[in-house]
Structure formats: structure tokens, C-alpha cells
Structure 1
Amino acid sequence: MALINPHINFNGNAEEAFNFYKAAFGGEFSNVVRFKDMQNSELPLAENEVNNIMHIALPIGANTLMGNDIPEFMGKVDENENRSKISVSAESKDEADKLFTVLSAGGSVEMPIGDSPWGSYFGMFRDKFGIEWMIEYAG
């Protein structure tokens, strides 16, 4: 069965926020990836953003709180509106494909499911109700 984890978008202060959450919940980050670690010609970043967080994960019990900074070229997140996604960790590629196909039907795909630059099988979309989802199989 898949796990569902919260994922929060930030406007350049993800690291500060996650250090705050870590102080509250304890534990250690299981993953921290900065934009400079994944920078390529398809990801046009301003120099002041290369150290921002592309992905950060803090295990809390059986679940994981995840987040990232939104690059300036993608716009800002409205901090008073929805700025989170539901992240699903699938147990297999087949489960990831099924969840992606079923949940994205009638919605809009932001990133088709496939192999990601960070090594997982990943896709992202907004469902027909406006809810944002990320489906991932880490293998």
C-alpha cells in the first residue's frame, strides 16, 4: 500500500522552515538536495538561487514531511493560499503508473511520470478538483 506524505512549497526559505520543523519534531533530514546539485541548461536559475532547496525530507514517524523552494522563473507561491502537494510513495512502478493515470484523469499534468534526474520514478499533476499530487517510486 502506498504512503501519503505532505509536501510544502516555499519562496526561498525552505531550509529555515525545515530547521524549525526539525527542532519541533526531532530527527535528522533523510535527504537534502540543492538546486546547484541538479543544475543544467533546462533549469535556468538565478545565481542567488543555486543554494536553495530543490528537495528536503524530514521523517516523522512512518511518514515524511517534504518540501522545496520554488525557483523565481516559476513564480512565487501565495503563502496565504494552497502551497502544498500530496506526495504519494508507491511500492512499485506499476502502482505509481496506476495512481498517476487514475488520479490525473481530467486534470492537468505538470510533469509526466518517468525517470527523474534525482534517480526516482516521478510525476506531478493537478487533479480535476484542483488538488496537486506528486507520485514517486524510489525503487
Structure 2
Amino acid sequence: MQLNHYLNFEGETEAAFIFYQSVFGGEFSILTRYGDLPSEDGVVYSEQQKSWVLHVSLPINEFTVLMGSDVHEQFCSPHPLGLNKGNNHYISINLEDETEARRLFNQLSAGGHIEMQLQKTFWGALYGAFTDQFGIKWMVNCQLDLEP
């Protein structure tokens, strides 16, 4: 299991991560934009939002990856208090065991607010997000076996 920090912004992710890269060094291992997403019914992005960052990963060292994205209201369930500087940080749990992913999601989210149920995603993972009963925001991401 790996615990990482995941930051959310509204249109500032690229600027923030260029800054973090200047401080920590390194190269982005992933940088995708909303415009790269497969088109889905009902999901509409402005031209500006198509350039927003869907996901970026900046490895800090062999144990830590700083990740982030711009939050889009049609793609991510809104936080009940709104996205504000201060509540835009998640602890991201990345693991490879589906049973453990379900256990952690269910136990940590008990009594909290589920933003996205744990479910299969277009990027080949089991993923869910929630705020726990103490106000801490979590993401659980489990890469699924992609072999047929």
C-alpha cells in the first residue's frame, strides 16, 4: 500500500504543479487533461475546461508521489461544503488488492460522506472517494488486472 497526497484545484493545477516541480524537481509521470477524456453523454466541458488537468503525478522520491487535478462539477461529486482552499486535499491510498481496497473504503467511510462509490473506472482501476466522519478526505485507488 502507498499513501500519497492528492490536491484539488479549480483551474490552477497546472500552475501549482509547475511550482511544485520547481521546488522538488523531477518530471511528471502522468499529465492528462479533461480534453483527453473519452466523450460521455451529458458531460460538457468549456474550451477552457478541456485544458484543465484531469490528473497529474509528480514523483517526489521512491516512496511519495504528489498528485492533483482540477475539479469539474460534472465529473466529481461536489464536496458538501464546496471546494475551498483548505478542504482541497485528499489522502490517496493506492494498492493492488481489491479485497483490501473494499475493506479500507468501507471501514474508513463509515459515518462519513461518500463522494464517489467504489467502482470500476475508465483508467482500469477500482476507485472511490469520501470524507470520513472526522472531515478527512480520502481516495482509494486499486489498479485492476487488465489481462483478459
Is this a same-fold pair by TM over 0.5? yes
Equivalent-residue separation in structure 2 for 1:93 and 1:68 (angstroms): 24
Could you list the per-position Cα deviations for residues 48-71 of structure 1 after superposition, in whole angstroms to 9, with x for gaps in the alignment? 201100111101111110000122
Deviation per residue, 1:71-119 (Å, 9 max, x gap): 266596322x221111011231111111101101111211111111222
Residue correspondence of structure 1 range 81-120 to structure 2 within 5 A: 81-120=86-125
| 2:78 is the alignment partner of 1:77 | no
Root-mean-square deviation (Å): 1.8
Match of 1:29 in 2: 28
Structure 1 stretches of 4+ moved >3 Å: 72-76
Q: Write out aligned runs for 1:1-139 (5 A).
A: 2-38=1-37, 39-61=39-61, 62-71=63-72, 74=78, 77-79=83-85, 81-139=86-144
Distance 2:55 2:43 in 1: 15
Distance in 1 separating the partners of 2:65 and 2:41:
30
Deviates more, 1:65-74 or 1:43-52: 65-74
State the alpha-carbon separation in 1 of the partners of residues 16 and 47 from structure 2. 21
2:65 is paired with a residue whose SS is strand
**Alpha carbons of structure 1 residues 44 and 119: separation in structure 2 relative to 1, 3 Å:** same
Percent of pairs with identical residues: 38
Give per-residue Cα distances to partners, 1:108-133, cap 9 Å, x unaligned: 21111111122221111111111110
Identify unmatched segments of 5+ residues in structure 1: none
Please give the alpha-carbon distance, in whole angstroms, between the structure 2 residues aligned to 1:48 and 1:69. 12
